[in-house]
Structure 1
Amino acid sequence: MPSFDAALTAYQTLPQRVKSLMLSTVSADGNPHASYAPFTIDDTYQIYLLTSGLSAHTQHLLSTGRASVLIIEDESQTQQVFARQRLTYDCQVIPIPRHSEGWEIQIAQMEARFGPIIAMLRQLEDFQLFRLSPQAGRFVMGFGAAYAVDPNNLSQLQAGAITGEAS
């Protein structure tokens, strides 16, 4: 099993190494939906998504205010596909009003990360910006190395691996 310091470093760097996340939402009538979205994440581990209002997941985010995300190591970067590093968060969803200060700050962050495509997407009126605020999380570094995210300080893991965690 890796050291706690190695796990913490891997946890803190994973969101910078990948550019998209898997998004799990539920419709207002309880039907599950899986999709993906490019994302940015700030220093306080708040996650930002810019999504089309034509997509099912945007409607689900608006109607339920909840989502689960999976940030996972690229298959090509792992030695064992069954033991990919991954991070899950259960999130509260908050829409960011278009042209607000928060909108402008986060759109600039997205442009810095994703380039000119954001300038085009921001002009499309159906695109909406969301902040996903993690309420709980879990980081799996590999076989037998799973850690709870500290809900009081999202930049930290709770010491001690979670027992009984499968890959």
Structure 2
Amino acid sequence: MARDGKDVIQPMDEAVRAEAKGLLRGARSATLATLGPDGHPFASLVGLATDIDGTPVILVSGLAAHTGHLAADPRASLLISPGGKGDPLAHARITLKVRARKVVRESEEGLRIRRRYLARQPKAALYADFPDFAFFALEIEGASLNGGFARAFAPTPADLKSDPAHAAALAEVEEGAVEHMNEDHAEAIGLYATRLIGAKTGAWRAIGLDPDGLDMALGSTALRLPFPASVDGPASLRDVLAKLAVKARGDLPQGEIQAI
């Protein structure tokens, strides 16, 4: 992208990667643009979740126009724009260039995606198992991050997704870890939400884990607690969650808190 012969795309760094991942992982809806049979782009609103590696996933009806479009041409675009107060163009948003792939329902991947999607979109349980509905994984092929005025970046798929080896290591234990957190560490989850993120007090629950963070929900409100570094397995997951709980309780000296 150039303006007056000058490239306006800025270099990626860890802070920008975290911002881009946060937009993707934190989204509950997005605008999906597919290609109709006449070649014209067709935009529609979809519910959104992510697989454990960060791949966006959607649940769509076979009766919807966009589903037919994806079957004919899997190329699509996904706009995530959470917005905020004031000028909508002043807030960060990200556009993903994706290729849709229908997920086999009864496969290991399909069962995991169904669980993770319904944890983020619980009301979708009313229709998720209807025979004409299907999950699609949207494989990321490119992206454009607009962080607000004069902030333009071009994240790669690797910038947006979790380390694949770390994701694979957590995939086997994520469901049990989420259940364990909710059953035995509800207090810590509440402290993560209120003291580390500044959310209101309530019965917060863990709804998902991945190498880069913990997802929590209270009613229809979802929050994400990013980890200070990618976790590579169950041991490092337990360690980071324990340190974050200590930080939330305020039991660490300031210097050690900043180092976590």
Same-fold status (TM-score > 0.5): yes
Q: Does 1:124 align with 2:133?
A: no
Q: 1:47 to 1:17 in 2, by over 3 A?
A: closer
Report if aligned partners of 2:17, 2:160 keep a CA contact under 8 Å in 1: no
Q: Give the paired residue count.
A: 152
Confirm whether residue 102 of structure 1 aligns to residue 109 of structure 2.
yes
For 1:43 and 1:138, the matched residues in 2 are separated by: 22
For residues 102 and 44 of structure 1, the distance between their equivalents in structure 2, rounded to whole angstroms, comes to 11
In structure 1, the gaps of 5 or more residues are 157-167
Amino acid at match of 1:146: A
Distance 1:42 1:107 in 2: 9
Residue 82 (str. 1) matches residue 92 (str. 2): no
Aligned-partner Cα distance in 1 for 2:131–2:51: 24
1:36-95 deviation per Cα after TM superposition (whole angstroms, max 9, x unaligned): 101111343311100011110011111101110001123xx2443222211111111111
Structure with the largest fraction of helix: 2
Counterpart of 1:159 in structure 2 is none
CA distance in 2, matches of 1:151, 1:12: 10
Correspondence 1:41 to 2:47: no
Q: Structure 1: how far apart are the matches of 2:74 and 2:102?
A: 9
- Structure 1 partner of 2:73: 64
Q: Which has the larger radius of gyration?
A: 2
Instruction: For 1:46 and 1:17, locate their aligned partners in 2 and report how far apart those are by CA, in whole Å.
Output: 13
Which amino acid is 2:63 matched to?
Answer: L
- Superposed CA RMSD in Å reads 2.2
Measured after TM superposition, the shift of residue 18 of structure 1 is 2.6
SS at match of 2:38: coil
- State yes or no: 1:28 paired with 2:37: yes
Q: Is the Cα–Cα contact under 8 Å of residues 27 and 33 in structure 1 kept in the other structure? A: yes
1:8 equivalent among 6, 17, 22: 17
What is the deviation of 1:152?
A: 4.2
Question: 1:16-40 CA deviation, whole Å, 9 max, x = no partner?
Answer: 3331000000123313211010111
1:153 shift after superposition:
4.1
Q: Which letter does structure 2 place at the counterpart of 1:55?
A: A
Q: Is the 8 A contact 1:107 1:118 kept in 2?
A: no
The answer as to whether partners of 2:51 and 2:116 remain within 8 angstroms in 1 is: no
The 8 Å contact of residues 88 and 137 in structure 1, kept in 2 or not, is answered as: yes
Determine which structure has the larger strand proportion and give its number: 1
Q: Distance in 2 between matches of 1:78 and 1:7?
A: 21
1:150 matched to 2:163: no
Do the aligned partners of 1:39 and 1:47 also contact (CA within 8 Å) in 2? yes
CA–CA separation in structure 1 for the residues paired with 2:92 and 2:80: 9
Q: Summarize the Cα distance change of 1:97–1:17 in structure 2 as closer, same or farther, 3 Å threshold.
A: closer
For residues 132-151 of structure 1, the C-alpha deviation after alignment (integer angstroms, 9 at most, x for no partner) is 00101011111111111124
Whether the aligned pair in 2 keeps the contact of 1:50 and 1:129 (CA below 8 Å) is: yes
TM-score by length of 2: 0.54
